[in-house]
Chain A
Amino acid sequence: MTTTTPATDTSATGPDVELDILRYGLIEVAREMLDSLMRSAFSPICRDILDCTVVIHMRTDEGWEVAALWEGCMQHAFVAPHIANFLMDDWDIDTMQPGDVVFTNDPWRGSLHQADVNLFRPVFVNGRVEFLLQSTSHLVDLGGPIPGGFSNGAQSHFEEQLKLPPTLLYANDVAVRPTFNFLLENNRVPHLVLGDLRALHGCLVVGERQLQDLIARGGLDDVRAAGRYAIDATEASMRRGIASIPDGDYSAEDFLDEDGVTDEPIPVAVTVKVRGDSMEIDFSGSARQPLGNSSTAWCEAGRCIEAVKLMVDPSTPVNSGTLKPIDVLLPAGSVVQTLPPSSASSHADIGPRVINVVTQALGQATEESFACDTGTAVYIGFSGIDTRTGHKGTPWGAYGLAGGGWGGTWKEDGVSFCVTPIGNCRTSVQEHVEIESPLVVAQHEMLIDTAGAGRFRGGLGSVYTIMAESDTLVTVVADRLRRGAAGANGGGPGAPAVGWYIAGFDLAEHGDPMNLRGAEPLFGVFDEQGRPDPVHGEFGRGARYTTGKFSNLVIKAGDAIRLIIGGGGGWGDPLAREPERVRQDVRNRLVSVEGARLSYGVVLANGEIDTAATGARRAELTAARDAGTWEVPIAAPLEWTL
C-alpha cells in the first residue's frame, strides 16, 4: 500500500485507490457526525433548517487543515478552517485530554456571529492529538437584548449575545458545570440550547468513535496520507479552475442599503486578481465599519471564496485545499473586518453581498458567469411565551428563511425559491413550526414576476406569510429593499424585498398575496396607492420602517407578517430569450402577460405567442435601449389589487 502523499496532479496516473477509499472514509465519518447531530438536536434551526456543519481538522506542520467535512450549511465549511487555527493558537495543546471539548463563538476568532457556536474535540492517537473534530450550529438564543441574535441597532458587541473565547465545555467527557450554567442561565430558551449543546457534543463522540475505527483499519499514516491526498486533490482542482480565468485584475462594487442606524449606503468593493493558478481577493476600497450592526469580524476571509468555488470548481469536496490558492485581503476597520468593540452579530446581508460582488468581478473575466442571487436571506426570528392550550408559559423561539432565487447563468435559468449562497440551508419544516411554536405558516410559495429578466432569467423569489397565535416578538434582517439582485451581461435586476403587517389575519380575506387590502406597509418602495413599485415608487412611502433591519416588532395574536423576497438577477439580454420559454413561464404563472411584454418584449394573446407583435415589440425596445430611453426593468409583481 502506498503511504506517501501522492503528487498534487493525479490526472496522469489516476487516483490511488487505497487513499481514495480512506479519503471517502473520512468524508463518511463526517456524514455520520452530521446525521447524529441533526437527529438529536432539539431546535428547528439545527434539526430542520440544518444551519450546522461538522468538520475533521488534521494536524499538520503548518497548523490545522480541513481534511473532510459534511455540510448542513455551506458557509460554515468555508469559515471552519480559520476557527480551528484561531482556537488552537489560543489553547495549549499539551493541556488537552481525551474527551475534552472546547467551545467558542467569538466572531474575532472566526465565528460567523455569536449565534453560531463551535465545539472542538481532540482525537488522540498514541498519546498525541492528531485530529480535531468540530461541530458547529446556530443556537436559537444566547442572551443579550434581542432574542435570537441579529441585534439590529446595536453599535457594540457589549449589546449583543454572549461571546465566549475558547472555553472548556467538557473535561474528559464530563460537562463543565460553570460553562453550562453560564450559557443556560443567560438564555431565553435554555431547554432548546441544552438539547442542542448535547447534540453537538454527542456527534463529536460519534465522530471520534468512527474516526478511531477508520484509523484502526487503515493505519494512522495512511489515514493522514488520505487527508493530505484529499486536500491536494481539491487544491489542484481549484487551481485548474482559476487557471482557466484569464490573468487580470477584475473590480466590482456593490452595496448594502444601510446599517439600520444611519441611512447611508455601505459600499463593498473588491478587486479579484488572477495570476496563473493563484488568486487574490482584495476588499480594499470598501466602506469603513458601519455604526450599525451590518459588518463582520473575520468570516468574510473564507466566505467570499464560495463565489470562486461555485464558479470554477463546483464539484470537488470542500476542504482546506479549496482555500489554498487564494489570499484574501481584508482592510482592518472595514465592513468586512470590523474591529471591536463594534457589533458583529448580523452577518446575513454582508455575507451574500461579499459573494455577490466577487461574482460580479469574476463575471467580467469569463463568459461562463452568473448573475447575483437575491443577496439577502430576509431572515426572520420569532420568539415569545406560548399561550396555546397545553403549551401555556413555555418560552419558544423559531427562525424563518424566506428563500430567494439564484441568479441566471450562462447556460440556464437560476434556481428558484432557495436560500442565498451563504448557506444552502433548508426552509423550516412548516408542520414542525406550527406544532412547536404558536405560529401558522399561511403561505410560503414562489411569487410571480420576482425573477430578474434575462436570456436566462433569475430564480424566482417568494412570499412568506406567518400568523401569530400568541403575541410574538419579531426580528427582521433584510436588504436590497430599493433595487433587487443585479443582473449580468445585460440581464435585469430581481425584485426588491417588501414587508407588510396584516391585522386580524383571515386566510379567506388575506390569502391572496397580490391583494393589498388590510396590509400595512412595513418596508419597501411604494407608489402613491401603496403598490410596491421599485421603478417609479418612493422608498419608505407610508411604511412603518425606513430600513429592513429592525427588532422588537410585536405581532399580536391573530395578526400576521407578510414578506416578499425578490428573485435572482437575470443573465443576458431578455430580448434574446426564446419566446417559447417566456410563454412557458407565463403558463406556469412565473411571469405575467404584462411582465412578458414589458421585460421580454414577448406579446401573448390567449396564451399563444403573437409572432408579429413580438417582433415589433422587440424591435421597439431594442431601438429604445440603443437610444438610452429603455433599460431592462427591475422585476416587480404587477397585478396588485387595492
Chain B
Amino acid sequence: MTRWLLPGFLTVGAIATLVLIVGPALYAVSLSFYDIPSLTSDPVWVGLNKYAVVLSSGEFWNAMWNGIVYAGLTIILQVVLGIGFALILNQKFVGRSLLRGLTFLPYLLPTVIAVLTFKWMVDGSFGIITILMHEWGLPAVNWFETEAASMFSVILISVWLWTPFVTTTFLAGLQTVPVQLYEAARVDGAGPIRQFFHITLPMLRPILTVIVLLRGVWMFNKLDVIWLTTGGGPLGATEHLPVLSYRKAFALFDIGSGAAIATLSFLVLMIAVTLYFRAFPMEEVK
C-alpha cells in the first residue's frame, strides 16, 4: 500500500499541474500567434506578427518601465520598512504581542477592501482625509490627479498591504540569530548600527534573498491594486504589463496582443529570475 503512496501523490500532483497550470499557460502562449478580434471569432494564424506589433509600440515599453518602477519601489520600501518594523517588534516591551498581531492585520485584508477603503478615505468630496484637510484649512491633495501622484498612491497602498508579510518573515528570521553574537559584538565595542550591518543583515541574507525574489515576482505581476485604483491611468502613467495585457484582451478584444504581452512579461520575469539566481546563488545563501 505505502509503496504506491508516493507515486500516487506524484501522479495526482503532476496531473493537476498539467491541467491547471501548464495546459492553460501553453494555450495562452498559443493564442499569441493568432489574430482573434473577438471572443467568438475564429482565430487566424499570424505567426510572430503580434509580437512585432507589441514590441514596436510605445505603450508596451511604457508599461514595462512602469512595472519596473512599481515593482522596484514597492520592494525597496517593503523590505526597508519590513526590516525596521521587525527590529522594533523584536524588542521587549509591554504590548508587544498585541502590536505584532496588529502589524499583520493589513496583510489579512482582501485587496479589494483595502483599495476601496483607501479610495473612500481620499474621495474628493466625501473622504475623511479630504474633509479633515478642508477643516484644518489645508489644500486638497490630488491623490490620483497627476501622473506622479497616481504612481505614488498605488505604491503607497501596495506597501501598506504587503509590508506586514515582510515584517513577519524577518521577525521570524531575527529570532533565529544567536544572542551570543550580539553579546560578543557588544564586548568588542560594536554599537547597534555596526551590529545590524555585521550581524543581523548577514544572518538575514537567506531570507532577504528569497523575500526580494518572491515580492519582486508578485509585484511585477500584481494587477488588482492598479486596476482597482487607477485602471492604469492617467495617460498610462500606472499602466504596467498585466494591466496592458488585460486591457488589450478584454477591453479592446485583441486577444492575440493580450496573450503576446503576457508571454513577453513571463519571459522578462524568467530572464530577471535567472539573472537574480546568478547574482545571488541559493547554494551560497544556505
A and B are interacting partners: no
